[in-house]
Amino acid sequence: MNAFWESVASNVIGTFVGAGLALLTSFFVVRYGETRNDLRLLQALIDRLYRSRALRPNQVATAFDAEARENERRSTKSVLATRDRIAFTSDELSGHSDAFDELDRMLVACLRYLNDVQDDPSRYISSLMTLRGELEPEVERLCDRYRALQPRPIGTADLRNRVPVPPEPRPAGEPRSGQP
């Protein structure tokens, strides 16, 4: 009878240990997936800031004429899109992410720009440069915390060069151009 109870005890212990390991493995798999998604969201935000024409460095203020008013309007739309992207990223991050503080400060910087431009639209260039200066350290902090993120300087993407379009695949049996 003693062997029976030893067998039952070892089976029960083995079952609980196996279930515990399965739960622990499941936890780490889910956490890994969430972390990968968080990194994807943060990199997409960094890439958005990198491609922002409104946040190009060293912009110079000129007379606030009709052309400048149009530039201010487009810049403000760009900052609104950036603000929305920051809010989206913050909303979509998993609960265990450490990026919320940086994203909150980035959101506040965008709101500060919008308030400044609403008060004095003619100062939009200096407000953009201030915004850029406030966003840069937050991006650097994110990249320092998450080594997998690729840092990119804000507003420096070369948007004039076109990405080459790969040629369409040839149907099977069609000769290469220039061949009979």
The least confident of 7-11, 17-21, 29-33 is 29-33
Number of domains observed in the structure of the chain: 1
Mean pLDDT of 23-36: 67
Q: Is residue 1 part of a domain?
A: no
Q: Is residue 172 part of a domain?
A: no
Q: Is residue 170 part of a domain?
A: no
Measured between alpha carbons, how far is residue 42 from residues 1, 24, 35, 38 in Å?
62, 27, 10, 6
What are the tens digits of pLDDT across the range 124-176?
A: 999 999 999 999 999 999 999 999 999 999 999 887 776 555 555 545 555 54
Q: Is residue 36 part of a domain?
A: yes
Q: Is residue 154 part of a domain?
A: no
Residue 82: give the domain boundaries: 10-145
What are the tens digits of pLDDT across the range 37-94?
A: 899 999 999 999 999 999 999 888 888 888 889 999 999 999 999 999 999 999 999 8
Rounded CA-CA distance 114/107 in Å is 11
What's this model's pTM, rounded to 2 decimal places? 0.72
Where residue 64 falls (left for φ over 0; alpha for ψ -120 to 50; beta otherwise) is beta
